[in-house]
Structure 1
Amino acid sequence: MLEQEFFQHLTDGVVIMDKQRIIQEMNPAAVRLTGWHIGDQAPYCTFCQKRDIQSGEQRCLLMGHNPPPYFESEMPTMYGETIPVSFSTTDLSGAPDEEGKTVLMLRDLSQKKKEDEIRMAKLLARQTIEAQETERKRIALELHDGVGQSLFSVSMALQVLASQTEPSTASFITGTLPVLQDAMQEVKRLSADLRPPALDMLGLNAALTSLIRRIEQHFPLTVTLHSNVDSDTRFTPQLELNVYRIIQEALHNIAKHAHSPEAVVEVVYDLEANMLTVTITDHGTGFDTEMVHRKGGLGLRHMTERTLLLDGTIRVLSVPDGGTTIHISIPCDNKETLYADN
């Protein structure tokens, strides 16, 4: 009685079949998993269906000589689909009516497969973003140390040349210097956008302050920052960089597309909950969020990817002519985000 109750309540599927693979008995978990019935012939898994066998060899890998203790494949079901499962078998022995019967154990791997796919997607996203950031850092250094220094050298040379030449030529040279200065400032801005030096040295708040200053210099947009993250509060480089990029992307979208005169950025670290929340709000033209999702807007997609990379959540609230609010919550209790002088 106890054995039968145990058999009925096992979460793994149990199928008892004879030498011809005719099902003699099944537990409820096996019925739910496969949809098979007692009296059916158990199908072979997709691996065994396709594998090459020798004359006289069993088609089922687990019922041949020296079978593995278990293996993973996909099993056809009565629902017209195949499901990922792990298999193991054992031969029944003892009572005469058990001779020649085999117990097939089935464990559903669907959830594990989904988790593996999510894990691989996050790993791919992380590696892609890390490669992008590495390349951005390299280009930023090239701009600063290469192009920037070259432009500075040219500027100095022109100033020396202007002091040693005739007035008309000197006036022409001097007139080109502001253009050169603008180019130097643009290189400096591009370098900072690619890899903000303040982020590594001073932290998230200082980097955001610098970002807002650059945006206000180049766009007709006033940005107000409210933050309780002080200079002594540091998170992992992974979190700080991705949160910075999310806010940078959001503010650039507002500046270029929202037609909003102002935006508000709120960054709040809840020490008790160990949670970082970011809210970016504008009062611009807004947009249809469903349409943007369908079209696969790159800006929103990149923000979402970076948020999910940190196990966070993102909500975008927007309506045409009603402004936009982006709300992000990121837990700071895992190795990807916690770096504590809090």
Structure 2
Amino acid sequence: MRKKIFLKMMYLLCVIADSNAQTLNKDSLLKLLPATKDDTVKVQLYIDIGNQYEPEDPEAAGKYYLTAGKLSRQLHYKRGIIKYIASYTGVLNVKGAFDSALVLNKQSFQIAKELNDKSLMARTLANIGNSFNYLSEYDSAIYYYEAAGRYFEDMGNKYLLARMYEMKQLVYQNIGQYKHALLYGKLAANELRASGDSIDLGRCLLNLANSYQSNNFPDSAFICYKEALAISQKTNFISGEIACLLGIGNIYFHKYDADQMKPYYEKALIKARQLADPQGQLVALRGRALYYFLKKEFDKAKESCMASLTLADSLGTKYDRYESMQVLSSILYAQHDIEEGEKLKDKIQLLENEIRGDELQQKTIAIEKKFETEKKETQIKLQQSQLKQQHILNYFLIACAAGLLIISLLAYRNYKHRQKLQQSKIDELETEKQLTATEAVLKGEERERTRLAKDLHDGLGGMLSGVKFSLSNVKGNLLLTPDNAQAFERSIDMLDSSIKEMRRIAHNMMPEVLVKYGINVALQEFCNEIDGSGAVQVSYQCVGAGDAGIDPTIAVTIYRIIQELVHNSVKHSGAQNALVQLHISIQEKLLTVTVEDDGKGFDKNQLTAAKGMGWNNIQNRVDFLKGKIDVHSEPGKGTSVLIEVNI
């Protein structure tokens, strides 16, 4: 007789749930609720309260999870919706509402995709796999565990990758594909050893030992059970300890080593009673019955087996009842109670048929559910297709309206642009007209100045010089009284002063030095004259390669501008010092003029309201040269004028 005691240990994952441990109890969390604003913190608070309620009152926990979901939707807090679904589906699984949990988990995955968060996508895929596992749709469960595992592998999260290996191991173990189960069990154990998580490693080794036993590798199973037992004892994982003790006892039973198997079943029974674990107790009692059976103490074996049957009946687990009845049947035959043994055999056959019927019914229900699910999915796809078509039509209409709007806007923009271009052309022509008029005025002014200077110098100057010469000659032929001689001399002096003043005026109107020697020499002489007059101390500086290449018109205009600026400093600023700088750059083809003084300065806003001719003349001349002018002045801080002209 080689009967196996097989203990299922399935730990379905809810890997998306937060791992942050709550340090506050339920009452403390509830006190925080009224004072917390309706934000993301309150969403987490609802979930934390639900976590506290869930072990004892899943219904209350579900209400808090639903509230968290409702608030998350109001806040458009997508991560909060995912957290709510991860927690609430745990409650649905307890109720057996696996279909509803599956729908929510699929919604959670879609939200994770919208967030483009690979970690959340992987975790929600794992939860979908759990839902299919509960629904006994193992092929779909494997598919989603595999998909989640790929994400975890890409992210380098070896721990969660190991959990996916574990889940695939349990699925393959459950459907009887023990070789696949053993393969993934080994992969999971290797990854968990690397992560150093002893609690998870202990559980994983326990499942791996079960797979070794299923593949008939008792020695390897024994090693895994021993290591898992040591970890469970170290971490106080009593359920794991019970499972390991039962597994080791089962290995010794298959070796028919009664003395070695007894202490493990006895320890398992004690631990199961301490933990109030009826499942563990009935398996341990069945193991003890097998011990007594091997020792040929059939009455004690029967007593332990009957106790195991009683627990199986109370739990309503048909498979455990079937296993215990098989052991009891062997005991009855060993006691030579053939009649009771045969009767029990008949009951075992009926129970086996019932179990098979249940399995067939479950498969039928699963097929029907799958068919209904596919039918619903087809309807959903049809509705989605219709909705998509409607959306496409709406988008087309919106696109048409947008196109018309864009065309209208473009037409209006084109009209405004053409209008702007026309206005720009008008402004340009107006500016050109003003510049032409200014140029004509300035050229006419310079011609008139030149003519007047020439007339004064050559005409009136010559006449006055002739008069002076005649009077000087007459003086020697006249006999004058001392008083008349003195008056005559004063007249000669006044005539001499008039000649000098006339020449000065003629020179200012058109400096001969400007025509002969250029702007640099002319400005040097002008500044020396102003400095010599004592009105203002004027310093002149010229930087550059020379002014030989400057157009005469530009030179004359610049000279007039500097004249006007220096006269303004003399007349209006009250300055004591002034600086005139001329910078000529032949390479850059740029002429720069700077005129500064330390006078009383003025508010620059006054320039726009200036009514005098001086500033207007300066501005007109700069515009005529198509130059730039920059004025810096503040009351009490002097004035600086910078002019740039292309040459």
Same fold, judged at TM 0.5 (above):
yes
AA matched with 1:131: G
Q: Which whole-Å CA distance do the structure 2 matches of 1:230 and 1:208 have between them?
A: 16
Q: Is the 8 A contact 2:545 2:584 kept in 1?
A: no
Map 1:8-87; keep pairs closer than 5 Å.
Answer: 28-34=409-415
Q: Which whole-Å CA distance do the structure 2 matches of 1:155 and 1:188 have between them?
A: 15
Displacement of 1:127 after TM fit?
A: 0.7
SS of structure 2 residue aligned to 1:269: strand
Q: Is the 8 A contact 1:159 1:174 kept in 2?
A: no
Q: Which whole-Å CA distance do the structure 2 matches of 1:145 and 1:264 have between them?
A: 34
Match of 2:458 in 1: 145
Deviations 1:157-178 (A, max 9, x none): 2211222112423332112222
Deviations 1:71-107 (A, max 9, x none): xxxxxxxxxxxx986xxxxxxxxxxxxxxxxxxxxx9
Q: Is the 8 A contact 2:584 2:590 kept in 1?
A: yes
Higher relative contact order (CA 8 A, sep 6+): 1
1:170 corresponds to 2:485: yes
SS of structure 1 residue aligned to 2:548: coil
1:206 corresponds to 2:206: no
SS of structure 2 residue aligned to 1:248: helix
Map 1:296-315; keep pairs closer than 5 Å.
Answer: 296-315=611-630
Match of 2:267 in 1: none
SS of structure 1 residue aligned to 2:580: strand
Q: Which whole-Å CA distance do the structure 2 matches of 1:238 and 1:171 have between them?
A: 49
Match of 1:271 in 2: 586
1:187 corresponds to 2:502: yes
Higher helix share: 2
AA matched with 2:538: V
TM-score, structure 1 normalization: 0.65
AA matched with 1:176: S
Displacement of 1:34 after TM fit?
A: 4.5
Match of 2:568 in 1: 253
Deviations 1:221-254 (A, max 9, x none): 2211100256563300111011101101111111
Q: Which whole-Å CA distance do the structure 2 matches of 1:151 and 1:29 have between them?
A: 76
Higher strand share: 1
Displacement of 1:327 after TM fit?
A: 0.5
Q: Which whole-Å CA distance do the structure 1 matches of 2:551 and 2:538 have between them?
A: 26
Q: 1:158 to 1:198 in 2, by over 3 A?
A: same
Match of 1:154 in 2: 467
Q: Which whole-Å CA distance do the structure 1 matches of 2:490 and 2:609 have between them?
A: 51
SS of structure 2 residue aligned to 1:321: coil
Count of paired positions: 240
Q: Is the 8 A contact 1:269 1:275 kept in 2?
A: yes
Q: Is the 8 A contact 2:468 2:495 kept in 1?
A: yes
Match of 1:126 in 2: 439
For structure 2, which runs of at least 5 residues remain unmatched after alignment? 1-406
Q: Is the 8 A contact 1:221 1:255 kept in 2?
A: yes
AA matched with 2:440: Q
Q: Is the 8 A contact 2:519 2:547 kept in 1?
A: no
Q: Which whole-Å CA distance do the structure 2 matches of 1:219 and 1:299 have between them?
A: 22
Q: Is the 8 A contact 1:219 1:255 kept in 2?
A: no
Displacement of 1:201 after TM fit?
A: 1.1
Q: 1:232 to 1:303 in 2, by over 3 A?
A: closer
More displaced 10-residue stretch of structure 1: 112-121 or 236-245: 112-121
For structure 1, which runs of at least 5 residues remain unmatched after alignment? 1-25, 36-82, 86-106, 333-342
Q: Which whole-Å CA distance do the structure 2 matches of 1:175 and 1:314 have between them?
A: 49
Q: Is the 8 A contact 1:224 1:264 kept in 2?
A: yes
CA RMSD of aligned residues (A): 2.3
Match of 2:643 in 1: 328
Q: 1:232 to 1:124 in 2, by over 3 A?
A: closer
Q: 1:111 to 1:322 in 2, by over 3 A?
A: same
AA matched with 2:523: L
Displacement of 1:296 after TM fit?
A: 3.3
